[in-house]
């Protein structure tokens, strides 16, 4: 696919994705900042507060009316974790100019509103409006607390926090309840001023407008963005290898056990052999034709579900499974046995090709959805990578059986987490 990277200003970069096959355009503005325990919650909160209003549209009613006048354009705030960076900002979706009534141009007014949300928020005596701040703080606390309601997600998040303890990756994208609970409006406003002054800003556009027009629209929209000493996007922190596997248990009121296993892969998105790791994950547990699904779940009935997943910008693979309390030992042993089979080359040519078709198909379907494209390219920008989905798919196509087996042999079990029921 076609992609152009342009520097708009100090620490402000545009990823331009020309596209004429969509009826909508997408415009994303995301600050990329290191994951830190002390700032993650404040960053997540300020994104929500900024979405409440600007000087010219000081409340949600005025903002909604303005977007209605732009033919129901939408702007949502986002808080994402890309490797060991937190990405905070907005994503706008609006009718592409080719389909706008009367040939009206929508890029410029949408970009203008996006710039206002970032650079010109409504304030009260030099801080965020107390009503907006208190409301969004309550919403954020509720979102953090509600994670425990999905026990599968809870187990995976507990595993990651334990597996990556002492590394930025252990920090949750929304921060933690204790830190957020202590936040004050002035503190978060100060964090906002710091963020927009020093954090790299990644802007992504997908639509039919030409590059020069997009550049001019964004230059005008973000003309007042303060820029001081802009930090470089931080690289992933290498981990210190663990000599022995660590085991962690929690007990909650659950009827089904959650077994989560964390592996260090020795490979991540920056490595030449990352396509081999992607294929290994698909063979092992990433698809419905994988060894975990067909053997551990279907043939042996040891798990209600069993799958593996990669943390693309971190050298980590997670295996997530739901098990009966009495079968946790058997399930763990079989999960490891299936990995050993991959290390020994115990997968058929058909298994490899099914995995290859799945990985390639997933990458290529990224090209058919603007939201997926935006998320993909944000991750690439945060990682300092420029490889397009179709280019990565081509590397997957060229990956050999030997390379997949070699990737499997690099995996080491690091942490096992089990969520059991209360006695």
> Over the stretch 157-198, which tens digit does the pLDDT of each residue have?
999 999 999 999 999 999 999 999 999 999 999 999 999 999
Residue 229 lies in a domain: no
Lowest-confidence segment of 52-56, 237-241, 365-369 by average pLDDT? 237-241
Using 50, 70 and 90 to split pLDDT, how confident is the model at 103? confident
* Same domain, residue pair 376 and 339: yes
Residue 230 lies in a domain: no
In a 13 Å sphere around the CA of 146, the CA atoms on its Cβ side amount to 7
Does pLDDT of 232 surpass 90?
no
Q: Using an 8 Å Cβ cutoff, are 131 and 49 in contact?
A: no
* Tokens standing for residue 153: 């997600």
Q: Using an 8 Å Cβ cutoff, are 162 and 415 in contact?
A: yes
* Same domain, residue pair 138 and 277: no
* Same domain, residue pair 277 and 191: no
Average pLDDT over residues 109-113: 98
* Same domain, residue pair 205 and 262: no
Does pLDDT of 239 surpass 80?
no
Using 50, 70 and 90 to split pLDDT, how confident is the model at 238? low
- The total domain count for the chain is 2
Q: Using an 8 Å Cβ cutoff, are 173 and 79 in contact?
A: yes
Q: Tell me what pLDDT residue 41 has.
A: 98
Residue 227 lies in a domain: no
Average pLDDT over residues 308-331: 96
At 76, which CATH number?
3.30.830.10
Does pLDDT of 147 surpass 90?
yes
Residue 78 lies in a domain: yes
Q: Tell me what pLDDT residue 242 has.
A: 80
Residue 241 lies in a domain: no
* Same domain, residue pair 306 and 157: no
Q: Tell me what pLDDT residue 142 has.
A: 98
Average pLDDT over residues 208-235: 92
* Same domain, residue pair 195 and 286: no
Q: Tell me what pLDDT residue 422 has.
A: 85
- d(CA 107, CA 94) in angstroms, rounded, equals 8
Using 50, 70 and 90 to split pLDDT, how confident is the model at 396? very high
Helix (H) or strand (E) holding 90: strand 85-95
- d(CA 288, CA 303) in angstroms, rounded, equals 14
- Final residue belonging to a domain, choices 183, 205, 221: 221
Tell me: the pLDDT tens digits for 253-279? 999 999 999 999 999 999 999 999 999
SS3 at position 224: coil
* Same domain, residue pair 275 and 407: yes
Q: Which of 110, 82, 72, 93 is nearest to 25 (CA)?
A: 93
Residue 172 lies in a domain: yes
* Buried/exposed code over 159-191 (b: 16+ C-beta within 10 A; e: otherwise): bbbbbbeebbbbbbbbbeeebbeebebeebbeb
* Same domain, residue pair 178 and 322: no
Q: Using an 8 Å Cβ cutoff, are 309 and 303 in contact?
A: no
* Same domain, residue pair 377 and 280: yes
Residue 356 lies in a domain: yes
Average pLDDT over residues 100-123: 96
Please give the order of strands across the beta sheet that includes 201-207: 4-9, 12-18, 201-207, 24-34, 85-95, 74-82
Range of the domain at 98: 4-221
* Same domain, residue pair 270 and 203: no
Average pLDDT over residues 382-401: 97
* Same domain, residue pair 127 and 265: no
Q: Tell me what pLDDT residue 234 has.
A: 67
Using 50, 70 and 90 to split pLDDT, how confident is the model at 237? low
Helix (H) or strand (E) holding 112: helix 107-119
- Distances in whole angstroms, Cα of residue 384 to Cα of each of 86, 313, 379, 391: 14, 11, 9, 16
Tell me: the pLDDT tens digits for 65-87? 999 999 999 999 999 999 999 99
Q: Tell me what pLDDT residue 143 has.
A: 97
Average pLDDT over residues 380-404: 97
How close are the terminal C-alpha atoms of the chain, in Å?
Answer: 55
Residue 282 lies in a domain: yes
Rounded to two decimals, what is the model's pTM? 0.96
* Same domain, residue pair 31 and 92: yes
Using 50, 70 and 90 to split pLDDT, how confident is the model at 102? confident
């Amino acid at each position: 696919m076609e992609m152009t990277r342009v520097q708009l200003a100090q620490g402000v970069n545009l990823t331009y994705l020309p596209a004429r096959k969509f009826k909508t355009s997408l415009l994303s503005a995301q600050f990329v900042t290191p994951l830190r325990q002390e700032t993650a919650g404040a960053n997540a909160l300020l994104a929500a507060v900024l979405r409440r209003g600007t000087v010219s549209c000081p409340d949600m009613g005025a903002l909604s009316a303005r977007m209605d006048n732009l033919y129901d354009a939408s702007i949502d705030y986002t808080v994402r974790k890309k490797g060991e960076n937190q990405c905070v900002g907005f994503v706008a979706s609006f009718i592409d100019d080719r389909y706008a009534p009367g040939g009206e141009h929508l890029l410029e007014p949408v970009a203008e509103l996006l710039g206002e949300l970032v650079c010109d928020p409504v304030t009260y005596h030099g801080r965020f409006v107390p009503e907006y701040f208190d409301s969004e703080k309550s919403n954020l606390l509720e979102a953090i607390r509600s994670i425990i309601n999905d026990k599968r997600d809870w187990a995976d998040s507990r595993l990651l926090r334990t597996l990556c303890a002492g590394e930025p990756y252990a920090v949750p994208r929304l921060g933690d309840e204790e830190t957020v609970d202590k936040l004050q409006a002035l503190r978060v406003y100060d964090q906002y001023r710091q963020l927009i002054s020093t954090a790299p800003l990644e802007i992504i556009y997908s639509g039919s407008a030409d590059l020069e027009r997009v550049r001019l629209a964004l230059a005008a929209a973000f003309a007042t963005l303060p820029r001081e000493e802009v930090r470089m996007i931080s690289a992933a922190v290498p981990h210190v290898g663990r000599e022995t596997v660590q085991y962690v248990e929690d007990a909650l009121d659950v009827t089904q056990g959650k077994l989560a296993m964390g592996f260090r892969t020795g490979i991540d998105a920056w490595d030449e052999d990352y396509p081999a790791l992607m294929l290994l994950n698909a063979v092992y547990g990433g698809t419905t034709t994988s060894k975990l699904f067909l053997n551990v779940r279907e043939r042996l009935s040891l798990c209600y579900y069993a799958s593996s997943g990669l943390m693309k910008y971190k050298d980590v693979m997670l295996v997530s499974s739901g098990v009966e309390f009495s079968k946790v030992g058997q399930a763990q042993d079989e999960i490891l046995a299936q990995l050993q089979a991959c290390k020994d080359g115990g997968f058929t040519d058909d298994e490899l090709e099914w995995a290859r078709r799945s990985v390639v198909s997933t990458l290529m379907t990224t090209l058919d959805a603007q939201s997926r494209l935006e998320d993909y390219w944000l991750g690439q920008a945060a990682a300092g990578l420029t490889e397009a989905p179709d280019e990565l798919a081509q590397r997957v196509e060229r990956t050999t059986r030997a390379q997949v087996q070699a990737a499997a042999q690099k995996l080491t079990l690091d942490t096992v987490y089990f969520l059991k029921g209360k006695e």
